[in-house]
Amino acid sequence: MKREAKAFALNRIEEAARTVKDYKQVLAQWNHNDENDARRYRYHEVMRTENTFRKGYSDGMVFPVPISHPSWQDVMKGDFLPMIFDNAEDAWQLVEDKDIALLLKGLTLKQKEVLYDSAVLLCTAERIGYYEGKTDRAVRKLLAATLKRIRTDLAPIIRKQIEAKAPDMTMNKQQFLERYDKETNCKQEVQR
């Protein structure tokens, strides 16, 4: 009721404004409302920034984290999956497509970790290298090799699905196959 009363009062001030001073008062109230909305959004959004990520830090329930931590807020909302599978080894279970999930499951531990840190935690190669004790160049090389392995293993699976006219064939898979074929053809021409 209080919010409705304030909105009604602001509406009355807007309609009654006739002078520059009145319009400045309306503008000040709008700015105040916008700042409150932005603050409310900041407090309730899930943020994965540099401050919330620490390599090796477990969001487990044994050692409670501050209530403002994003993963704790997720749990309080009833979203347990990110906490349960919040590691590189089990992240494949979060993938919806079974073919891609099985490919991710078959990766080595180092490949899973670099892919998880890069794709899920959105870490840069420099940051991953810092925590793993490697150079950013080595991390980029491992990530490129991992993605290449996934792509080369996924392309034949998609081709078989196209030939079989599988019902789970999506437009994204078809577009992936087109891009993959175009890239491989370009690389073969360059090598010749």
Q: What percent of the chain has pLDDT over 70?
A: 80
Residue range 31-53, pLDDT digits in tens: 998 888 888 777 765 554 444 44
d(CA 104, CA 174): 20
Number of structural domains found in the chain: 2
Mean pLDDT of 49-76: 57
Are both 21 and 100 inside the same structural domain?
A: no
DSSP string, 53-94: --TT----SSSPPPTTSHHHHHHHHT--HHHHT-STTTGGGG
In this structure, the answer to whether residues 95 and 37 fall within a common structural domain is no
Give the CATH number for residue 155: 1.10.10.10
pLDDT 10s digits, 82-133:
677 778 888 888 788 888 899 999 999 999 999 988 888 888 999 999 988 9
Q: Considering the domain boundaries, does residue 19 fall inside one?
A: yes
Q: Which uninterrupted H or E stretch holds 146?
A: helix 136-164
